Amino acid sequence: MISRGVLADLNDVSTRLANTQRKMSTGKELTRPSDDPFAVGRAIALRTELDGVGQYRRNAAEAEAWTAATDVQLGGLTDIAHRARELLMQGSSGTTTPSQRATIAAEIDQLVDAAKQTANATHGGRSLFGGTATNVRPYDMVSDAYAGDGGDVVRTIGPGVSVIVNVRASDVLGNGADGKMLETLRDVAAHLRGGTAADQAALTGSDIAALDSSIGDLLGARAQIGTTANRVTAADDRLAELEEGVRNLLSTTEDADMAATLIDYSMQQSVYQSALRAGAGIVQASLLDFLR
């Protein structure tokens, strides 16, 4: 009866010792759902959240890259528009000869091509300015028609938080004859070549106004992209903090408290050893030892 009791107690202590040892070797408080079902459920939810936050951060990085690439190309387009405006000022002055005007008109034609090439820029093999038609170039060199679509390129940077990271070429350069930058530049070139009084009047009047409005469109687009980029950066900072927080929570939920575990371990070990010693003493002692 005593030996059965000793055996049961030893088993009990060694089971606890094995559990503590497992905690130490895995560094985890929870190794099976039954260790603490609710904590495991919580750990699973936290892990899901952590993975989600990590994904949002990757999305944010992607969004930052996209907005940065868009901004660079919009900068190029703005430079082109400014150059066109300089040329227009030169060409519209009364002292410019028709042959000089023809040269300027030729340069403006070049600028149109340059603008279209800039708008055909890609990021990671995807067209930046074609809406969601990322696999086609927004413009070919023959016509000024916009070949992209009206879609938004959306990135999710938080639960239910999405940002539009693209600018469509149709909004800044235009789609054929719609009064946007491409048509304005075409008009300017035509007026420079025309040489009539009406052309001259257009050069100094409506063309400048139209070009300024195109520059306004570009600046507006850059401002919008800049704001988005700021928003994404701020969101990423917040996500980094959140990630840290969730990681801490997860760690407190499922990681073993090493100091406490070590203390438990050495305590249980000494209990085990003394149980063994006491058991050995009790089991061995018998009346037989004391009879002759």
Partner 1 sequence: MPVSTFMGLHTSLRGLLAEQRALDVTSHNIANANTQGYSRQEAQLQATDALALPTSGRLGTGVDVIAYKRIRDSFLDLQYRTQAMQVGAGATRAQALDRAELRLSEPGENGIAQRLNSYWSSWSDLANAPDSGAARQALIGDAQSLISAVNALDVGMQTVASEAAAELSALTGAGGELQQVGRELAGLNGAIRDAQRVGAQPNDLLDRRDLLLDKLAGLAQVSVADDGAGSIRVTLGGAAAPLVDGSVLTWPPPAMTSPGGTIGALMDLSSPTGTIASYRSDIANFAQGLTAQVNAIYQPAAGTDFFAYDGATATLSLNPLVTAATVRAGAGGAGDNSAALALSELRGTPGSADDLYARLVTRIGTEVADARRGALNASALSESIEDRRQGTAGVSLDEEMTNLIRFQRGYQAAARAMSATDELLDTLIDRTGRVGL
User: Can you give the binding site for partner 1, defined by CB under 8 A?
Assistant: 1, 4-5, 8, 28, 30-38, 40-41, 43-45, 47-49, 51-52, 54-55, 58-59, 62, 124, 126-127, 130-136, 148-149, 151, 153-156, 159-160, 162, 254, 286-288, 291
Nearest to 33 by CA among 42, 24, 25: 42
Q: Name the burial class of residue 130, with classes exposed (0-12), middle (13-18) and buried (19+) by CB atoms within 10 angstroms of its CB.
A: buried
Q: Can you tell me which residue has the tokens 């600018």?
A: 167
> Both tokens of residue 177?
């004859």
Nearest distance, CB of residue 162 and partner 1, angstroms: 7
| Per-residue three-class SS string for the chain | CHHHHHHHHHHHHHHHHHHHHHHHHHCECCCCHHHCHHHHHHHHHHHHHHHHHHHHHHHHHHHHHHHHHHHHHHHHHHHHHHHHHHHHHHHHCCCCCHHHHHHHHHHHHHHHHHHHHHHCCEECCEECCCCCCCCCCCCCCCCCCCCCCCCCCEEEEECCEEEECCCCHHHHCCCCCCCCHHHHHHHHHHHHHHCCHHHHHHHHCHHHHHHHHHHHHHHHHHHHHHHHHHHHHHHHHHHHHHHHHHHHHHHHHHECCHHHHHHHHHHHHHHHHHHHHHHHHHHHCCHHHHCC
* Closest CB to partner 1 among residues 68, 154: 154
94 vs 160 by CB, closer to partner 1: 160
Least Å from the CB of residue 137 to partner 1: 12
- Closest approach, Cβ 85 to partner 1, in A, equals 32
C-beta of 60 vs 111, nearer to partner 1: 60
Written as one letter, the residue type at 129 is: F
CB of 72 to partner 1, least distance (A): 19
- Least CB distance to partner 1 at residue 101 (A): 41
Cβ nearer to partner 1, comparing 28 with 186: 28
Minimum distance from CB of 148 to partner 1 (Å)?
8
Q: Residue 226 CB, nearest distance to partner 1 (Å)? A: 21
**Residue closer to partner 1 (CB basis): 94 or 159:** 159
Nearer to partner 1, 106 or 240 (CB): 240
Q: How far is the CB of 177 from partner 1 (least distance, A)?
A: 24
Is the CB of 236 or the CB of 254 nearer to partner 1?
Answer: 254
Using the minimum distance from each CB to partner 1, give the nearer residue, 194 or 279: 279
Q: Which two tokens stand for residue 60?
A: 């944010």
Query: Could you tell me which residues are beta bridge partners of residue 156?
Result: 162
